[in-house]
Amino acid sequence: MIRIKDLSIQLAGFSLDDINLNILDGEFFALMGPTGAGKTLLLEAIAGLIKPRRGKIEIDGKDVTYLPPEKRKIGIVYQDYALFPHLTVLENIRYGLHFHKIKKDEEKKRLNYLADQLKIRPILERYPENLSGGEKQRVALARALIINPKLLLLDEPLSALDPVFREEMKKELKEVHKSHKITFLMVSHDFSDVLSLAGKGAIMNQGRIEQIGDISEIFQKPISHFVADFVGMKNLFKVSFKETKAIINDAIEVETGKTLKNSYGYLAIRPEDIVISKEKLTSSMRNNFKGVVKNILNHGFYHELHIEVEKIIFKALVTKNSIIELRLEKGTTVYLSFKAASIHIL
């Protein structure tokens, strides 16, 4: 188990403050946050590459806070892979073996296993400059895994790959995690990567952890304005509460389905939870509003509609087919509906 307690790091112009994190053995944990949130810094502190100002890092109950990186048995794979350019793929992978007392037979066994699992046998004699992004990624993984680390740190491991390799590598990462039974800690800002790979995660902002929990929980129930915004809750409104209703700008009353204790707060709705129709829907959805399409943004596979209701803009996602079928364009009058269960009160 990885336990981080009150960890603080002070660098020129940036600091990590009071980081508390528990990662269970064998877990695939994702660390998310915008650029400059301190994710990589935290990763490097866990690896022992940056000294903390205070706090504690424990691995399996052992305090490793001031242990040098070479004594921690923590592997790291960077976004740019950081392969040793003057060594062949085989030499890159074998590098870590020089510093660990491993029998020759075992070395060979591990090497063969990784070469087959990561499909790198044909490229063992090549130099890194002659490898594709996907191949470099596999080599970096094999190099980190050959020493059987207790924890593998992945710094944006898929961000430099093209979409085809990305999906392939996602599958491989999943398989590697399953077969090696190692704890994975991955930094990412891509929600689809996180949703398909990690079980638990944390959102970081300006050197602090904003929310920790199950990935689905973070995405569905953000606990702060920042997290809601970060995980794509594009409809975020300041509201006042009256019994079970949340009132936006004293103009729109939204049925939340629950009695609210506070007088004021925030209401969040995911854009994909809003249903768009030309006629008023007669369904179980308790919130129906008439509005006008103000803008349509093309995001490739889907479109983002900006719909004005009582001078308040709601954002909804629809497919290209829906745009054609509903003949949606700027100025079209539509109905937007959403369930009370889709509403998140912050």
Partner 1 sequence: MKRKKEIFYLVSLISGILIMFFILLPLIKMITQPSISSLKEAIKDKEVIKAISLSLYASGMAALISLIIGTPFAFLLARKDFIGKRFIESVIDLPIVIPHPVVGIAILSVVGKNYWLGEFLYKMGIKVMGSVTGIITVLTFVGMPFYINSVKDGFLSISPRIENISRTLGASMTQTFFRITLPLALKSMLVGIIMCIARAISEFGAVVIVAYHPMVAPVLIYERFEAYGLKYSQPVAVLLIIVCLILFFILRIISLTKKEKAL
Residues interacting with partner 1, by CB under 8 A?
A: 12, 44, 47-49, 68-70, 72, 74-76, 78, 80, 82-86, 95-96, 98-100, 127, 129, 143-144, 147, 149
DSSP 85-152: TTS-HHHHHHGGGGGS---HHHHHHHHHHHHHHTT-GGGTTS-GGGS-HHHHHHHHHHHHHTT--SEE
For CA atoms 243, 244, 248, 253, the dihedral sign is negative
Report the alpha-carbon angle 335-338-341, nearest 5. 170
Q: Shortest CA distance to 132 belongs to which of 142, 141, 123?
A: 123
Sheet holding 264-269, edge to edge: 252-255, 245-248, 235-242, 264-269, 343-345
Q: What minimum distance in Å lies between the beta carbon of 86 and partner 1?
A: 4
Specify the amino acid at residue 345.
Answer: I
Check: CB of residue 280 under 8 Å from CB of residue 342: no
C-alpha–C-alpha distance, residues 255 and 191, integer Å = 29
Q: What minimum distance in Å lies between the beta carbon of 129 and partner 1?
A: 5
Q: Considering beta carbons, is residue 81 or 338 the nearer one to partner 1?
A: 81
Q: What minimum distance in Å lies between the beta carbon of 82 and partner 1?
A: 4
Q: Residue 74's beta-bridge partner residues?
A: 151
Q: Considering beta carbons, is residue 161 or 248 the nearer one to partner 1?
A: 161
Q: Considering beta carbons, is residue 71 or 311 the nearer one to partner 1?
A: 71
Q: Considering beta carbons, is residue 63 or 70 the nearer one to partner 1?
A: 70
Q: What minimum distance in Å lies between the beta carbon of 79 and partner 1?
A: 9
Q: For the chain, report the end-to-end CA distance as a whole number of angstroms.
A: 31
Q: Considering beta carbons, is residue 139 or 323 the nearer one to partner 1?
A: 139
Q: What minimum distance in Å lies between the beta carbon of 296 and partner 1?
A: 39
Element (H, E) at 220: helix 215-220
DSSP 346: -
Q: Residue 297's beta-bridge partner residues?
A: 304
Q: What minimum distance in Å lies between the beta carbon of 109 and partner 1?
A: 18
Q: What minimum distance in Å lies between the beta carbon of 200 and partner 1?
A: 23
DSSP 287-308: EEEEEEEEEEEE-SSEEEEEEE
Q: Considering beta carbons, is residue 44 or 217 the nearer one to partner 1?
A: 44
Return the number of other C-beta atoms located less than 10 Å from residue 117's C-beta.
17
Q: Considering beta carbons, is residue 95 or 113 the nearer one to partner 1?
A: 95
Q: What minimum distance in Å lies between the beta carbon of 256 and partner 1?
A: 48
Return the number of other C-beta atoms located less than 10 Å from residue 148's C-beta.
15
Q: Considering beta carbons, is residue 12 or 164 the nearer one to partner 1?
A: 12
Q: What minimum distance in Å lies between the beta carbon of 130 and partner 1?
A: 9
Q: Considering beta carbons, is residue 31 or 152 the nearer one to partner 1?
A: 152
Task: Give the CA distances from residue 20 to residues 6, 55, 302, in Å, rounded to whole numbers and listed in that order.
Answer: 5, 9, 38
| Per-residue tokens: 29 | 């944990």
